[in-house]
Amino acid sequence: MPEFIDAHGVAIVYDIHEPAGAPRGVVQLLHGVGEHAGRYAHVVEALTGAGFVVYADDHRGHGRTGLKQHGDARRLGRLGVGGHVAAVAAVRQLSGIIRDAHPELPLVLLGHSWGSFLAQILLDLDPADFAGVALSGSSLRWPGSLNAGDLNRRWAGPEANGLEWLSTDPAVAGAFHADPLTTATPLLRLFGPLKAARLFGRPRRGLREAAGHDIPVLLMVGRDDSVGGPRAVHRLAHAYRTRSGLDDVTTLVYPGARHEIFNDVSWPQARADLLAWLDARFPPP
């Protein structure tokens, strides 16, 4: 397992997945809160099979990074010294490692949930470095769009396991609870209200001008996603068009799916849509 040391001395663990042949691009995969990159093995397989190198880290406080950082699985999900600013700096540091390793290849961000918010922040900071951005389970990071409350509220009941909001497939919640590298502790409790407030923000004005080119954006959301949902994602798309000046913005809504479109009934279509979007913008040589 490769790793790098962040500005606060925390070892960030990551994986590099190579395609069988010559790569046509690189995808930096950013996972959500309370989970880790290992939950995306099927997504990675689809991307490498399509000719992309995939870099996927376990973020600050999460997964293998979190175990090394805290030495205690009960503290998984807690970001530690530097908080959310340090978490952003660490994934930005990995972006730099990727660019140094593959200067000739387009770099695409693929972020889910909290990872999609990290991707939005990275794009604001370094727009010229990214050739495209695909976000799932995302939202406009603004009060009234991003749900900061109980994500499982609509499925609450005596038989609820607390994770119905993730997927319509009960096995997904079961696997999440059984995974020693995950935590179901809500984001507000993990980060604290003040640090969690750092998630709020809107797409940077003039992103296209700052990048020097249009940046394709793909937004994928389950119709029953309680984190933001279609309305919040349409607001994000509008912001990318009007504030950021981007033209190539695509929104896809998956009926019957909840937050984790890659772990729900939507997965076959979501996989096909993601690969088709990549093919159209980063065709094989």
Over residues 54-85, the pLDDT tens digits come to 999 999 999 999 999 999 999 999 999 999 99
The single residue listed with the structure tokens 């809160």 is 33
Over residues 164-175, the pLDDT tens digits come to 999 999 999 999
Task: Say if residue 281's pLDDT is above 90.
Answer: yes
Mean pLDDT score, 42-62: 98
Task: Say if residue 245's pLDDT is above 90.
Answer: yes
Give the per-residue pLDDT at 272: 98
Over residues 7-24, the pLDDT tens digits come to 999 999 999 999 999 999
Domain ranges within the chain, ordered by starting residue? 3-281
Q: β-strands 3-5, 11-17: how paired?
A: antiparallel
Give the per-residue pLDDT at 101: 98
Over residues 130-155, the pLDDT tens digits come to 999 999 999 999 999 999 889 999 99
Alpha-carbon distance of 257 to 277, in angstroms, equals 20
Give the per-residue pLDDT at 192: 82
Give the per-residue pLDDT at 195: 76
Give the per-residue pLDDT at 137: 98
* Token reading at 165: 């909001």
| Residues, the chain | 285
Task: Say if residue 260's pLDDT is above 90.
Answer: yes
Q: How far is CA 227 from CA 111, 161, 186, 273, in A?
A: 14, 17, 12, 21
- pLDDT averaged over every residue in the chain: 96
Task: Say if residue 119's pLDDT is above 80.
Answer: yes
Angle between helices 114-125 and 83-101 (to 10 degrees): 70
pTM of the predicted model as reported, rounded to 2 decimal places: 0.97
Alpha-carbon distance of 146 to 245, in angstroms, equals 22
Over residues 181-214, the pLDDT tens digits come to 999 999 888 888 777 788 899 999 999 999 999 9
Q: How many other CB atoms are found less than 10 A from the CB of residue 168? A: 16
- The CATH number of the domain covering residues in 3-281: 3.40.50.1820
Task: Say if residue 124's pLDDT is above 90.
Answer: yes
- 110 pLDDT band (50/70/90 cuts)? very high
Task: Say if residue 113's pLDDT is above 80.
Answer: yes
Give the per-residue pLDDT at 191: 87
